[in-house]
Amino acid sequence: MKMRFEQLTAQLAKPLLPIYVVSGEEPFQVDQAVQQIRQVAQQQGYSDRQVWDAGKDFDWQQVLASASAMSLFAERRLLEVRLPSAKPGDAGAKFLRAYAEKPVEDNILLLILGKLDAAQLRSKWLTALEQVGAFVQIWPIELNQLPGWIRQRMQVRGLTPSVEAVQLLADRIEGNLLAADQEMEKLLLLHGPGDVDADDVIAAVSDSARFDAFAMIDAALSGQAQRATRMAYGLRAEGVELPAVVGALAYQTRQLCQLAQAMAAGQRLEQVFSQFRVWPKKQPPMKAALQRYSAPQWQALHARLAEIDRISKGFRPGRAWDELVQLLVSIAGTELFPPARVDLR
């Protein structure tokens, strides 16, 4: 059976299944799901835990041999196989299908996978495992879902946060769930259970946001100038090399030039997105950006990157990160001060 991460606790309160598959690209939630399964299994007598890291040449028969071996103390076993690539290969796929047909009694097979692509989700080995076990597919928490996740995690700890406290914590950790969980633990230790307001969060929480260049670019494209600015300076504080950020932004502005030119030639937005293979998740910020500027304006913004690149390499005087921030603000539809060399009219 397929289930969401939120449904796992309820399932574990029922009789345990012979197979659990946990897959996802959010490390914190994957670890949380795996820890839950381990804990409940141990409580129910599965005290012998054996772990394998399944690489390219992994011998899957080791798992079957361990499951079938007699134990001196008749212990139940948790057979934990980690497969980050989510590709078991022909031998692994054959083994998993056979094991699903006849799981070994007094054993739980826990398969921990990386992100599955569309073909893997339709694979016969995964379908076979789902029929007799649980498949927990974990998705990253979107930015608009983060406050609700934080509130729920705080309430479990006995904390009752205000709306402002939740939002402030969400802003400070921005997508880093492990950092969020650690900050909530710190808040509980320093503050104790009970009501929590924004001042309590400010006093207890460090700014541990995980900044990402492409997330920063999406913020600018979406018109979120303040957020893009904060992320840019966060990248600088983390020691990220400016040329890497400039390269990511150059790719994006170059694509926007092409999209805007295609639209100017009469193509519909949906056609343009399909032609240039813009992912559905990427389409909202791209649409907002294309509504903001025309093709010549995007060409002008793209040209400013060349100047920033020269400054960063010492070929021109200036403060490259500050220039980058002004460009991001311009992309978001605002100006800190008029650009010196480029006319966007």
Q: What pLDDT digit, counting tens, does each position of 234-252 carry?
A: 888 888 888 888 888 988 8
Residues of the chain with CATH 1.20.272.10: 213-331
> CA 182 to CA 257: how far, in whole Å?
42
Please give the CATH superfamily to which domain 2-138 belongs.
P-loop containing nucleotide triphosphate hydrolases (3.40.50.300)
**Nearest residue to 41 (alpha-carbon basis) of 2, 3, 78:** 78
Does domain 143-204 fall under CATH 1.10.8.60? My reply is yes
Higher pLDDT, 343 or 320: 320
Flag whether pLDDT at 340 surpasses 70. no
Flag whether pLDDT at 148 surpasses 70. yes
Contact 39, 67 (CB under 8 A): no
**How far is C-alpha 74 from the chain's CA centre?**
41
Residues of the chain with CATH 1.10.8.60: 143-204
Class of domain 213-331: mainly alpha
119 class by beta-carbon count within 10 Å (0-12 exposed, 13-18 middle, 19+ buried) = exposed
- In this prediction, residue 206 carries a pLDDT of 63
Which amino acid is located at 43 in the chain?
Answer: Q
Distances (CA, A) of 267 to 58, 105, 133, 280, 282: 51, 61, 48, 18, 19
- In this prediction, residue 95 carries a pLDDT of 92
Confidence class for position 203, pLDDT limits 50, 70, 90? confident
Flag whether pLDDT at 221 surpasses 70. yes
- In this prediction, residue 169 carries a pLDDT of 85
Contact 58, 172 (CB under 8 A): no
178 class by beta-carbon count within 10 Å (0-12 exposed, 13-18 middle, 19+ buried) = middle
Q: What pLDDT digit, counting tens, does each position of 44-94 carry?
A: 999 888 899 887 788 988 888 888 876 545 578 899 999 888 888 899 999
Quick one: CA dihedral 303, 308, 313, 318, positive or negative? Answer: positive
Mean predicted lDDT score pLDDT of the chain: 87
Flag whether pLDDT at 174 surpasses 70. no
Residues of the chain with CATH 3.40.50.300: 2-138
Contact 219, 254 (CB under 8 A): no
Flag whether pLDDT at 281 surpasses 80. no
Helix axes of 61-68 and 89-101: crossing angle, nearest 10 degrees: 30
- In this prediction, residue 160 carries a pLDDT of 94
Flag whether pLDDT at 339 surpasses 50. no
Q: What pLDDT digit, counting tens, does each position of 176-192 carry?
A: 788 888 889 988 988 88
**Nearest residue to 249 (alpha-carbon basis) of 172, 342, 329:** 329
Contact 136, 20 (CB under 8 A): yes
Length in residues, the chain: 345
Which residues does 103 contact at the CB level (< 8 Å), separation at least 6?
18, 19, 109, 132
- In this prediction, residue 73 carries a pLDDT of 53
> CA 130 to CA 19: how far, in whole Å?
8
Higher pLDDT, 168 or 113: 113
Helix (H) / strand (E) containing 28: helix 27-43
- In this prediction, residue 222 carries a pLDDT of 94
Distances (CA, A) of 55 to 52, 60, 87, 190: 9, 10, 9, 43
Quick one: CA dihedral 283, 284, 289, 292, positive or negative? Answer: positive
- In this prediction, residue 33 carries a pLDDT of 93
- In this prediction, residue 294 carries a pLDDT of 94
> CA 47 to CA 39: how far, in whole Å?
10
Flag whether pLDDT at 343 surpasses 80. no
Higher pLDDT, 287 or 6: 287
- In this prediction, residue 180 carries a pLDDT of 86
- In this prediction, residue 210 carries a pLDDT of 63
**Nearest residue to 99 (alpha-carbon basis) of 1, 18, 38:** 18
Q: Which two tokens stand for residue 262?
A: 């295609």
Flag whether pLDDT at 300 surpasses 90. yes
